[in-house]
């Protein structure tokens, strides 16, 4: 039985043709797996499917070997995610948001404060703990959402474009946090279009184009960007899109 997060033949196509088709993906414990593709490639749709936010029309998704349809609700306490928008309620302070997130992920009232304090330190949120989320910059709201996704030490972590609004300091903090998560045995899936950042953190890279997995990339490739665009162009030509 393969642990971690597994998709086999997953398909979900929307009216107009967007979506994902026959996707196979494995995110293993102890690794950072990057999903890269152009805008509209289907990265967010795939991540929503992996998290049960959408249901596939075909194929199967398993978390720790259990199909999502049979997964007990309690199992989701071991998952962390930021998809499209961070979990940050505008009228709550950063600390209140984190406490709420900790309790929603199953931490007890006695354990939650220590986890929140550790997350605040990990993402350098000390100056903003008592600031309402609606007053935070987009980058600091993102830090709050990421801290909430990380603070319960999830065994599976799914992040959609997590660095999109972060400043350079935030990117470095997140990079270190993801490495710690994978080193502790977490299965980490990150989508991004920043290939240089992906190369610094990923153990494996999967390329998605027009809703299909079209190949992989070597994180150590000095010509990573060229290899990515070569794959996408070759696929577009083969499918008559270029």
Task: Determine the pLDDT at residue 152.
Answer: 94
Residue 41, pLDDT > 50, answer yes
Percentage of the chain with pLDDT > 90?
Answer: 88
Q: Span 100-127, mean pLDDT?
A: 95
Domains and CATH numbers, the chain: 5-238 (3.40.50.300)
CB atoms within 10 A of CB 227: 18
pLDDT band at 1, cuts 50/70/90?
Answer: very low
**Whole-Å CA distances, 130 to 65, 95, 97, 173:** 41, 6, 10, 21
**Whole-Å CA distances, 86 to 145, 162, 221, 232:** 4, 9, 32, 30
Q: Span 23-43, mean pLDDT?
A: 96
Q: Span 67-95, mean pLDDT?
A: 93
Residue with more model confidence, 131 or 15:
131
> Sheet containing 5-13: which strands, arranged edge to edge?
19-27, 5-13, 58-63, 66-67
Task: Determine the pLDDT at residue 194.
Answer: 84
Per residue in 230-240, pLDDT (tens digit) is 999 999 999 88
Per residue in 55-76, pLDDT (tens digit) is 999 999 999 999 999 999 899 9
Average pLDDT, the chain: 94
Residue 150, pLDDT > 90, answer yes
> Residue 20, class by beta-carbon neighbours within 10 Å (0-12 exposed, 13-18 middle, 19+ buried)?
buried
Model confidence, pTM: 0.94
Task: Determine the pLDDT at residue 2.
Answer: 54
Q: Span 132-156, mean pLDDT?
A: 96
Spatial contact of 67 and 79, defined as CB atoms under 8 Å apart:
no
Per residue in 155-183, pLDDT (tens digit) is 999 999 999 899 999 999 999 999 999 99
Residue with more model confidence, 226 or 2:
226
Q: Span 113-127, mean pLDDT?
A: 97
């Amino acid at each position: 039985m393969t642990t971690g997060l597994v998709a086999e033949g997953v398909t979900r196509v929307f009216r107009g043709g967007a979506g994902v088709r026959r996707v196979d993906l494995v995110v293993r414990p102890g690794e950072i797996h990057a999903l890269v593709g152009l805008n509209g490639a289907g990265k967010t749709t795939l991540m929503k499917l992996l998290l049960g936010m959408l249901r596939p029309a075909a194929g199967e998704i398993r978390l720790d070997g259990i199909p999502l349809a049979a997964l007990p609700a309690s199992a989701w306490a071991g998952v962390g995610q930021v998809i499209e928008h961070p979990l940050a309620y505008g009228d709550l302070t950063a600390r209140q948001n984190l406490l709420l997130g900790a309790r929603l992920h199953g931490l007890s009232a006695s354990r939650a404060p220590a986890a929140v304090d550790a997350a605040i330190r990990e993402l350098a949120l000390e100056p903003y703990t008592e600031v309402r989320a609606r007053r935070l910059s987009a980058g600091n709201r993102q830090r709050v959402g990421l801290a909430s996704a990380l603070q319960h030490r999830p065994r599976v972590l799914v992040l959609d474009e997590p660095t999109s609004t972060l400043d350079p300091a935030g990117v470095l903090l997140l990079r270190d946090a993801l490495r710690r998560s994978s080193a502790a045995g977490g299965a980490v899936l990150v989508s991004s279009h920043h290939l240089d950042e992906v190369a610094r953190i990923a153990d494996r890279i999967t390329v998605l184009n027009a809703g299909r997995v079209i190949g992989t990339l070597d994180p150590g490739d000095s010509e990573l960007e060229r290899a990515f665009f070569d794959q996408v162009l070759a696929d577009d030509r083969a499918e008559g899109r270029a």
